[in-house]
Amino acid sequence: MRAEFVKAIETLGLKDEKLIFLTGDLGFNAFENLVKKLGRRFINAGVAEQNMFGVAAGLAYMGFRPWVYSIAPFATLKTVEQVRNDICHLGLPVKIVGIGGGYGYGIMGSTHHVLEDISFYNTLPGIKVYVPAFSEDVGQAVKNMHRESQPGYLRLNIAKKQNLKLPAYGGVRKIFSGEGMTLVVLGPLIHNALDALKYFPEATADLWSVTEFPLKVPTSLIHSIKKTKKLLVVEECTNVNGLGERLEICLYKNRVCPRKLSHLYARGYPSRLYGSHQFHWHENKLDAEGIKTEIRKLLT
């Protein structure tokens, strides 16, 4: 998704002179062209994330539209107070980009993972969270974020190309229809869900992709869950205040109670061992195999 992100920022940066791009010393082999295109508006703020966020708040206060970029845990956990006090409390249009959300940085270890970003950004006032699912989503998500006057957080990961006709970008979208169950997936884990569904007959699941918070659940999704009575939620973050909890609250308010409900999420480090992104997915049953097993359980 990074290539699509850079392309989108380059396009916006040429159109909007108020766009400023700040990076926490990241971008080798990715931002070289952006540096040339933005000139003084490209700022390497060094390995000093808290300051970078304060600087971005100051720039936004003065009318600029800053984007701040770092590895997801450094763009989120390290700077949460700056985000709350300096950005959210004033509703400043600072756009935060975290690359490698969840276990995205794999073997780099737990310091480079972030499982809690969705959880706490969903508690901060007025910030909109974007978790694109497909690389095709990134351009539109970036465009929307830049246009919005509120703070925003963009969680980027790697997404493989799918040979799939995608519906237009939206915060909650149905990818395809099915009868046996409703499968709701946050962000790029949709690809693992798609791989898992290959083991089942066509139209096994009503498959939904969620890419934005605050979660706005369409009536059609409620109807889907009412109809199938079986719900599986999959997300690469903690189970607190993420997609699963938000959707459950929505169902409770709508007096919908699925007969079977399952939730796959990032449980941390169950074996206390480390490995690739794939390894951590497997450990947390978030890989195609784990999702397949859970689907089978729900269907029986």
Choose, by CB under 8 A, the member of 3, 33, 61, 216 that binds other proteins.
61
Which 8-state DSSP code applies to residue 211?
-
User: What are 199's two structure tokens?
Assistant: 């083991």
Q: What does the per-residue mask of binding to other proteins show for 75-114, with x meaning CB under 8 A?
A: ------xx--xx--xx------------------------
Choose, by CB under 8 A, the member of 29, 62, 255, 300 that binds other proteins.
62
Residue 44 CB, nearest approach to other proteins (Å):
9
Instruction: Choose among 279, 281, 280, 277: nearest CA to 291.
Output: 281
**Site of tokens 């006090």:** 85
Region binding other proteins by CB under 8 A among candidate stretches 4-12, 36-44, 157-165, 235-243: 36-44
Residue 130 near other proteins by CB under 8 A: no
Choose, by CB under 8 A, the member of 53, 121, 130, 153 that binds other proteins.
53
Please report, for residues 15, 132, 256, 264, 281, the alpha-carbon distance to residue 268 in angstroms, rounded to integers and kept in the order given. 42, 22, 30, 12, 10
Distance CA 225, CA 219 (A): 10
Choose, by CB under 8 A, the member of 26, 30, 37, 51 that binds other proteins.
51
Region binding other proteins by CB under 8 A among candidate stretches 47-55, 164-172, 217-225, 237-245: 47-55
Distance CA 74, CA 196 (A): 32
Residue 19 CB, nearest approach to other proteins (Å):
11
253 contacts: CB under 8 Å, gap ≥ 6: none
Distance CA 41, CA 19 (A): 7
Instruction: Choose among 184, 177, 294: nearest CA to 246.
Output: 184
Residue 17 CB, nearest approach to other proteins (Å):
9
Q: How many residues does the chain have?
A: 300
Interface residues toward other proteins, by CB under 8 A: 20, 40-41, 43, 45-46, 48, 50-64, 66, 81-82, 85-86, 89-90
